[in-house]
Each structure stands twice: as C-alpha cells, then as structure tokens.
Structure 1
Amino acid sequence: MSASTTPDPAGGDPLAGPVALCSREPRVPAERLVAELVPPPRFDSVRFDTYIPDPAQPSQRSAVKVLGEFAAGLGGDRAAGEGRRGLWPRRQRRPSAPEPRGVYLDGGYGVGKTHLLASLWHAVPAAPEVKAFGTFVELTNLVGALGFQQTVRTLSGHRLLCIDEFELDDPGDTVLVSSLLSRLVAEGVALAATSNTLPDKLGEGRFAAADFLREIQGLSAHFRALRIDGDDYRHRGLPTPPAPREDAAVSRLAHQRPGASLDDFGALLDHLARVHPSRYGALCEGVTTVCLTGVRAVPDQTTALRLVVLADRLYDREIPVVASGVPFDRLFSEEMLNGGYRKKYFRAISRLTALARDGERVAAG
C-alpha cells in the first residue's frame, strides 16, 4: 500500500509521514471546554435500544427501564421567563421531590455504564445547550478555567448534568465538585453519575454505592443508586487480545495510513507529564490511528494514571491503536493491579485491548 495523498485529518502533509503526539502541545480555551460537554464520539449514536443487556443479568434490563422513565420525567418546557432558575419556576418549585433528582449507576468496569449515561443524555427531551455530559476531570477543569461562580452560572440553566467516572481519589476535588453540584441541585438541575474506586477500596472492580453517597456528603439524598451487574462486555465472548507487532511493522503502517501518529511509548509517557490531562483529547484530535513502538510496563503510579486518562480519551474518540512491545495486559505491575487504583488500570487495559482489536482491523484492511 502506498502513502495516500488524501488530506491529512491530523493537519499535516500525508507525504511527510505520520504526526507525533509528542510534538503537540495543545491549548484549549475555556469556551471550548463548555461546548465540548457532550457525549464523546464513541457515544454519539448510542441509545437505550442499542444497549444489549446480558440475559444473565436482569439488573441491566431494569436499569434501562428506570433510566428511560427518569429521562421522560425531565421533559416539560422551561419558559423564557424562568431564566436560568432550574427545572421549575421558583413559584412552582416543589419543596421536596417525590423521587430523587439524580441517579447513580453502580457497577463494575465494562458493564455499559457510560453507554447508559450517554443514552440518558440523548433521551432527555431538551436541546443540547441545556444538557451537559462530561467526565469528572473535565468538570474540574471547567471550574479551573471559568472559576466556581461562573461555572455555577453556566450550568445552572441546564436540565441535566451527567458526570462520568466521578473521581473520589482526591478529597479536595471531591469537595469542590460536591459543592458545585449542591448549588446546581438548588437551581433544579438533575444529576446522573458513574464513579470509580476510592484508593483504599480493593473490591472486585466495582465501587460501592454507599461509599459514593457518603463521599458526596449532603448530596446523597438526591441520588437513587442503580446497580448494574455483569462482566466486562468488551471481553464477553471476544477473542484474546491481539499480539503486539514488530517495531518495523508499526512504523510501516503509520507511514501508510493518512492521519496516523507514530511515537515511542516511553517518549510519549514523558510528554504526557508536560501536558495537562484536560488537553489529552485535543492532543489526539484528528488522528486516525495511534501507532506506538516499544510499549513497556509503566514505571510508576503517577505515569500510570496519566496513561489511564489518555486511554479514556482514545477510547471515547474510537481511535484504533497499533503497538509493538509488551501486550497491554502487562502495562501495570501486580502491585498496581492489587492497589487502590486497580479499577482504573483494569479499565485502561480493557479499553486499550478493544482499541488494539480495532487496530488489527485497520492493519488487515
């Protein structure tokens, strides 16, 4: 296959070869952070009826039903006179709602929580401008960019705020976001969330709803917990992860595929330390395939957590990965996989494995 002259989506000359993520230092303006609070490309087209419940897990089918009813309950019309005051006008606001104004999806990695959360966002009968969807990291970055009060004003006119992967690892950020959500609830904004594991929780890849509700302090009364049982769907009935390729094969593919990136894995890890995680999505913008040479076990936990964020952004954007070196299930040490961040690491392995399967199809095509 010869190099294509198709315009390079990554912004370079296709004849000049692949781009390097290590050469990019993106800057993301605050207004873009707000505009991008929508489900990522991977979840653009998901809906409740595209979620395939595991027949062996009735809680999955039940969650779809409850979330559908929750979405329908967020209909209605916010008249112009309501301004940014919430779901109901002040004079009509109920002193206490009969049902919680938030839902928390409680389940292990790979049971489809993000699919369901994005489906909820799509199902709420309201314009995209009054619905927001983002990860916890994206929300904290928004507060950092806009300031607390401006973030409250920006989001208080929304009907729904969906928060994926609610981080409970940093007590300061947890208190910050809990305070933000308390203000938004007072304005009538409905909430929906998934979360990850606390550092000292060594359970089997799941986070307990009771711990989530305790950590968000006074917000717990606003959430109804929906348990979603099951195994990681990315591994359900699928083949084993593809074997890594040789360095030369990875480089050759990167030069043949328009818009591909090519980086040494160690150099990329070093570069991630110089780019704020809020910019990792912009870092891979326009890239069609991520090609990595020399993949190896990450050296420390700080580096590993950065890699987790990058894996999430690549997965959100459905960017295939082709790599040489060690298989992705050997990225993290046994100590890491048995430690407090184990759920994050298993999620990263799961998602990178799925992207590596996509990369196999790219290479075969």
Structure 2
Amino acid sequence: MSFDEKLKAFPSVREHYDAMAAAGEVDPDQAQLALADRFDRLIEELGEKRLSKKSSALGWLFGRKTANREPVKGLYVYGEVGRGKTMLMDMFHALVPVKRKRRAHFNDFMADVHERIHAHRQAFKRGETKQEDPIPPVADALAEAAWVLCFDEFTVTDITDAMILSRLFSALFVRGVVLVATSNVKPDNLYRDGLNRQLFLPFIDLLRWHVDVVNLDSRTDYRLEKLNRQPVYVTPLGDTAQRQMDIAWEIVKDGVEERSDVLTIKGHEVPIPRAAGNAARFSFADLCSRPLGASDYMAIVRRYQTIFIDDVPALDYSRRNEAKRFILLIDTLYDHHARLVISAEAAPEKLYSAPSGTEAFEFDRTTSRLFEMQSAEYLKAAEEGDPRAASDGAVTGV
C-alpha cells in the first residue's frame, strides 16, 4: 500500500502510525504516539479555523474575531536525529485539511526568501515599486501561498538569516500563518554562539509565543541502529572501502535529499560538499588540506553530529600541516560527542609516521581516540549524547 493509499485508509496521524506499527514498519514508541496525538489535535484546531472562515458572512465575521483572539499555535518539535520527527510531520502535512500549505527544508525556504528579497530590491531600484522595505511584500506573498508552513531541519547558522527571521516571522504570524517545524535543537539553542546573537534573541521569544515546543524524547535512533551494524573505520582504501562508505552514507541519509551547504564563520565561508539532515560528508582534502581552524571545525560539528571523512592518507613529516589539522579535527569531533565514519589508507596507529616533531607525540592521542570512537561504548554513549562516558581502551577491531 502506497503512502497516499494509507492516508486515505487511516485519516489521522495516530491511525496511520498504528497501522505502520501493526505492519512491523515501526516499533511502537510512547513518545512518538504522544506526538502523533498532538499532531491530530492540531489538525482538528486548523480544521475548525478553516471552517469558521467558510461559514456564513455573519458567522465568518464572528469566527474571525474569535480566531484573532485565540490564534492557532503551531508546533516546534525537537530531538536527536533519527527519532521520527520528520516522519510524523510529513503525515501531519499530508493529512491537514488545508489547501494553502507548504512543506520545505528550512534551508530551501530561506534561500527562497533571500531570492524574493533580492528581486524586490531590484524592482525598487528600477522604480517598479515605491515600497522600499522588502519584508512586508515578501511576507504577503508567502502567506498568500501557504497558511500552514512545515519546516524540516529548522536551524540557524547564518547571520543574514538570523537578522531576517524576527521581522519576517513577525509579519507572517500577523498574517495568520501557522508554523510547524522539526529541529535537532530546542529554541533556546538556535544560533547558539552566533555573531551578534543578542539581536537574534527576540525571535526566540516570538517563536515560543506562536508555537508549542515538544521534545520528542524517543528511545531509539533507528538510523544509528542500522549504522551500528556497519564498520565505522574502513581500511585499506579501494573499491571495497568506497562501497562500505556509500552503504553507511545511504543508511544515515535514510531517504533525506542530499545537498551541499555553506557555513559562514567569522567572515569566511566553509563549504559542506555533501549534507543530509544531521550528517555531512567530506574528503580528507576538504577538511585538512584547506586552511581551516578550530572555530571552523566547531561550527561544522555543531551543525552536523555525524561526520563522514573519505580517503584519509597515511601522513608523514612532509605533510605535518595536514596532520596538525587532522589532530585538531579529531579532538573537536571527540570533544563534541560526534559520530565519525572514516575511510583511511592505514589503521590508526599507522596513519602518521615521523622520526621527530610534536605532531608525532600528539598523534598518539589521535590514534587512541580513533580507536575509542569505534568502540561499542563510545557509539552508544554518542547516541545518548555523552561519548566521554565511554570507557578508555574499550575498542573494537579495525
């Protein structure tokens, strides 16, 4: 039975979820069941709001007054990756009885907003409009196109986005737009440590006023369960290693559309060549052959909690600058509870060789951490958010 056929057969999120559980497609989870029920309540509230607008002229007038006093609050669902947030939101989006609705990845939505703002400013320069401020007409167009906005992967890493959001969403909420979003972080941690974050804080207050915040504290990351059955340190390099990395990447993507991304960090850009949800994939050259530093690696791991690194070469003294960056990179991933999937030319203890130099001494720590980051204890603790609880020396084979 296709997704659309299931929706027709089971007209609520809860019924659809129960049917998937009965078919063995998901394991029943109390947190997911509670969220399914919450989505169904929101569907009812939106349905009542829609009907009030369609009633008689007098009834519509009174309905509008009631709606203005008590606007429908959306949902902001946050939790660790792989807990089922997107799956349940997609059920909600398909079932909500609203024609003007939109489901988008948040980055795609913001790219659309920037394009609309740019187009309006160009029109103003050409004298085609007397409205200099682009936010009101952009908000008008967005609200006209969609009354219910559903965003996947709501995150803020770009200062330009941060400065726009408060004014834009103030305008959208005034126009009656209802927001539903999934995120890996709670609202208070959006744009955390970002440049001029104090200017962004009013948006967090605005967001909390217009949405109910729900933590999906599901017990299992289903994607990571599958990933745990795959090797996370693959050596030697070659076709077999490439296939293993690709299989693990497909598991982590779990059907999420792959895209490129760009992080702006202290005035310069760090490209993310491949990203899907909370995971990013790089080559060794992407991360260690370019002049990146600690702040760059920290920004990457704050945005992406699962990091793939392809084609790590065996290093020696002639490549000590790349070795220094690799040491710093692994330290950062380890300290920030990240999961690492890596393909390398050699085992950890043979990745760096030099007769002298501080890098040789420091790489001993990197070797130890590369072993530990493969351990069942580390992977379990990383899933729970504290890999440093992993026991020292408890490792699996390469």
TM-score (norm 1): 0.51
Gaps (5+ residues) in structure 2?
Answer: 8-12, 55-59, 118-134, 194-199, 244-259, 314-326, 343-378, 380-398
Paired with 1:123 and 1:115, the residues of 2 have a C-alpha distance of 13
Report the Cα offset of residue 124 of structure 1: 1.4
Q: Secondary structure at the match of 1:154?
A: helix
Q: Report the counterpart of residue 138 of structure 2 in structure 1.
A: 151
TM-score (norm 2): 0.47
Query: 2:332 corresponds to which letter in structure 1?
Result: E
Does residue 195 in structure 1 map to residue 192 in structure 2?
A: no
Paired with 1:131 and 1:337, the residues of 2 have a C-alpha distance of 41
Does residue 111 in structure 1 map to residue 83 in structure 2?
A: yes
Q: Report the counterpart of residue 93 of structure 2 in structure 1.
A: 121
Q: Report the counterpart of residue 265 of structure 1 in structure 2.
A: none
Choose between structure 1 and 2 for higher RCO, CA contacts under 8 A separated by at least 6 residues: 1
1:209-267 superposed Cα distances (whole Å, 9 cap, x missing partner): xxx997522332221122211232212366433353654416997xxxxxxxxxxxxxx
The alpha-carbon distance between structure 1 residues 145 and 302, as it changes in their structure 2 partners (threshold 3 A), is farther
**Counterparts of 1:350-361 in structure 2 under 5 Å?**
none
Q: Report the counterpart of residue 334 of structure 1 in structure 2.
A: 331
> Which of 33, 57, 60 is 2:32 aligned to?
60
1:289-338 superposed Cα distances (whole Å, 9 cap, x missing partner): xx9876886654547867998999xxxxxxxx995549xxx995332453
Query: 1:116 corresponds to which letter in structure 2?
Result: L
Q: Which has the higher helix share?
A: 2
Give the length in aligned residue pairs. 255
Q: Secondary structure at the match of 1:75?
A: helix
Q: Report the counterpart of residue 180 of structure 1 in structure 2.
A: 168
**Counterparts of 1:161-180 in structure 2 under 5 Å?**
161-170=149-158, 173-180=161-168
Report the Cα offset of residue 165 of structure 1: 2.4
Gaps (5+ residues) in structure 1?
Answer: 1-42, 83-87, 203-211, 254-269, 285-290, 313-320, 354-365
Give me the identity figure in percent. Answer: 22
Query: 1:144 corresponds to which letter in structure 2?
Result: H
Paired with 1:193 and 1:141, the residues of 2 have a C-alpha distance of 17
> Which of 226, 229, 250 is 1:240 aligned to?
229
Paired with 2:283 and 2:5, the residues of 1 have a C-alpha distance of 32
Q: Report the counterpart of residue 103 of structure 2 in structure 1.
A: 133
1:9-60 superposed Cα distances (whole Å, 9 cap, x missing partner): xxxxxxxxxxxxxxxxxxxxxxxxxxxxxxxxxx9999743576654x5222
Deviates more, 1:237-246 or 1:298-307: 298-307
Paired with 2:149 and 2:142, the residues of 1 have a C-alpha distance of 8
Q: Secondary structure at the match of 2:46?
A: coil
Cα root mean square deviation, aligned: 5.4
Q: Secondary structure at the match of 2:215?
A: strand
The alpha-carbon distance between structure 1 residues 70 and 238, as it changes in their structure 2 partners (threshold 3 A), is same
Query: 2:152 corresponds to which letter in structure 1?
Result: D
Q: Report the counterpart of residue 217 of structure 1 in structure 2.
A: 205
**Larger C-alpha radius of gyration, 1 or 2?**
2
